[in-house]
Amino acid sequence: MTFQKLINYNKFMKYQDLTAAIDAPIFSRQDLSIHWLKVYDYQFTLWIKKGYLVRLRNGLYAFARYVDRIKREEVAHLLYPPSYISLESALSFYGFIPEMVHANTSVTARINRRFDNGFGGFIYRHIKKALFWGYAPVTTENGVYLLAEPEKALLDYLYLNLAGMRGQADFDAIRLNYDQMSDHLDADKFRRYLAAFNIKKLKHWALKCLP
């Protein structure tokens, strides 16, 4: 570390210094370290109280002035990586289920977690690492997030809810939109993805999703 960088790192930081150094709507403490910036906990507390910042989780913040530009999916991507949008959120996005989804749902190879902040609730459900695939990047104004492909989103949902699938009534309760699935599911890809799970019970219910 050069002498000048050491001075910058240790000096008392003002909010204007923060906005001048960080040009992204969301930033982490690690981002501050990269820029040789030092912010104390009481400063974050003060800036949040004044309405300058929104705390997303420990060590992750958003500038309040950019809140309207930030997508919930971007927040989900940064809150608990690696993860991708799937389950109810992806099924709703593709029109496979009729319900509006209030909490953002993702899958992760890490343990189950839930976060709540000014952008809403964020639920992360564990999937084994061998099944952590079947997603694509979505580019946004502020960066990128990962979204399950329609085939994988449906299989993720069935897989993680398989224990509660005891009969046809439980399957029907999902209220799947077969017209939308017919339009958006690639049947060959769906079968390939299904084979990778290698679960007989999952295959029984998953094949009912195809025409």
Domains of the chain: which residue ranges?
3-69, 72-209
pLDDT confidence of residue 36: 74
β-bridge partners, 145? 138
- The whole-model pTM stands at 0.90
pLDDT of 5 above 60: no
Q: Are 36 and 43 in contact (CB under 8 A)?
A: no
- Contacts of 21-26 with CB under 8 Å at 24 or more apart are 22/63, 24/142, 24/143, 25/62, 25/63, 25/66, 25/69, 25/70, 25/142, 26/56, 26/60, 26/61, 26/62, 26/63, 26/70, 26/74, 26/75, 26/78, 26/142
Q: Quickly state the pLDDT bin for 35 (edges 50, 70, 90).
A: confident
CATH 3.40.50 given to domain 72-209: no
User: Residues 94-144: pLDDT tens digits?
Assistant: 999 997 788 999 999 999 999 999 999 999 999 999 999 999 999 999 999
